[in-house]
Amino acid sequence: MTGPDAGEAVTAPPTADVRRTMFWLTLGTLVYLGGQWLLTVIVVRISGQATNGQFTLALSSSSVAYAVALFGMRPYQISDTRSEYRDATYLASRLVTSVLAVLAFAVSLPFTADAARLWPVLALFMGFRLTEGWMDVLHGILQNADRMRLAGIALIVRAVLECVAFGATLAATQSLLAAVAAMLAISFLALVVLEWPWSRSRTDGIPFREAGGWTRTFRLVRNVSPLLVANLAYSVMLFVPRNAIGAVWGSELLGYYGSIAAPLLLIPVLVSYLYTPFMPLLAEHALSYRRRRLLRLTGRILLAILALIAVALVALPFVGPPVLSLMFGRGILDHLDLLWPVAASVSCTALAYLGNAVLTACRRIRWTLYAAVTALVLVLALSGYLVRVFGPNGASFALVIGQGAQVVVLAVGFLTGLRALRR
């Protein structure tokens, strides 16, 4: 990589206010994901662990198609500080990725446990995931326009209304299918009534044709495709071990595993609060060949994340059992052996998230592909055997091994990228 031409002035464009972005990103996402976890509590309390096993299966199976819908675009979008692609192109790319997501769902459906009976629930949950995909690209526009407050408000409104609609419908009908349909309706209305009007008025205003049309759109999709593979690999990594639990040990034990894993998945989300607001600045350091500043900022973020993970792990034995018992009943305490392996796996997930984000900001995207493929191969090879030998904990063991290797490859990609950032 070479630096700018001699005498060329490199002027960093203005970026969103980091503190304000972090506050609304933290508040909105925390409330929204807390609402998503509350859905698991609602299912257990109203319909029991067997139904929660079905809900967990729908959640994990749709995550494969959801990864295709997102395409790893959001980190690329918010770190596009030099407007390489326009807002119209990002919106058009979401239409392309949504079509690909539906195809991915059709391909993965026959491999899902009990798909012949559960396919209507899986299909509706897939529809809900598509609306979340459109929400993601619209919130990217709002974040780039320094209007994360509106995105945060939308996330809070969504969390409240989706939980109310889901819980009330499930209680009234005892039908998981009807409850998911109600949640899908609320999510679609939020797009139409809130997020689209707010985002449309804050785009860069460049018409689709002037932004490059479909040629530019497919170029964006092609350039970001390594991020898709990385996200898709992660989704498959979540799905395969959980699917193995359902196939070997049944939906009830899968329900207990999902109940324990759901709140711990907040750890990677909390980690994302620390690095997401800094992605434009990371991108500017890389684009301007500020090697030391890039290394210093990345190191500070990493230390903050390690501290957050350490605090979470120290608090886990004191907070975990009483919270899980309160949310899911005392029966969950018979399965606390699942707690620490899940915690280890989500800690690896958090570090992999950070690595992917930093390499995306630095436009070292191919390394995210190499790392994800390495992890996926290990998880595919080990999941079935480990689940049969160690029970549901085998799913966590497979994820720790696979994602541990992923983190190592990401670190190598970052360090080799630093060597290339020389004038």
For residue 5, pLDDT beyond 60: no
Range name among 42-46, 155-159, 173-177, 258-262 with the lowest pLDDT average = 258-262
Three-state SS for 58? Answer: helix
Bigger pLDDT: 230 or 10?
A: 230
The rounded distance, in Å, linking the Cα atoms of 208 and 216 is 10
pLDDT value, residue 11: 43
In this predicted structure, the answer to whether residue 27 has a pLDDT above a threshold of 90 is no
Chain-centroid distance, C-alpha 49: 25
Count of Cβ atoms closer than 10 Å to residue 416 Cβ? 11
Give the residue among 276, 350, 344 at the shortest CA–CA distance from 306.
350
Joined together, the tokens standing for residue 405 give 């290797």
pLDDT in tens, 396-414: 999 999 999 999 999 999 9
C-beta of residue 187 within 8 angstroms of C-beta of residue 129: no
Q: Give the pLDDT confidence score for residue 64 in this predicted structure.
A: 76
* Whether residue 219 has pLDDT greater than 90: yes
CA–CA dist 39, 32 (Å, integer): 11
pLDDT for residue 286: 87
The DSSP code for 203 is S
DSSP states of 69-124 as a string?
Answer: HHTTHHHHHHT-TT-SS-HHHHHHHHHHHHHHHHHHHHHHGGGSTTHHHHHHHHHH
Look at residue 3 in the predicted model and tell me its pLDDT: 40
Backbone CA torsion sign across 371, 366, 301, 138:
negative
Per-residue model confidence as pLDDT tens digits over 343-372: 999 899 899 989 988 998 888 888 988 999
> pTM of the prediction?
0.74
Task: Band the pLDDT of 153: cuts 50, 70, 90.
Answer: very high
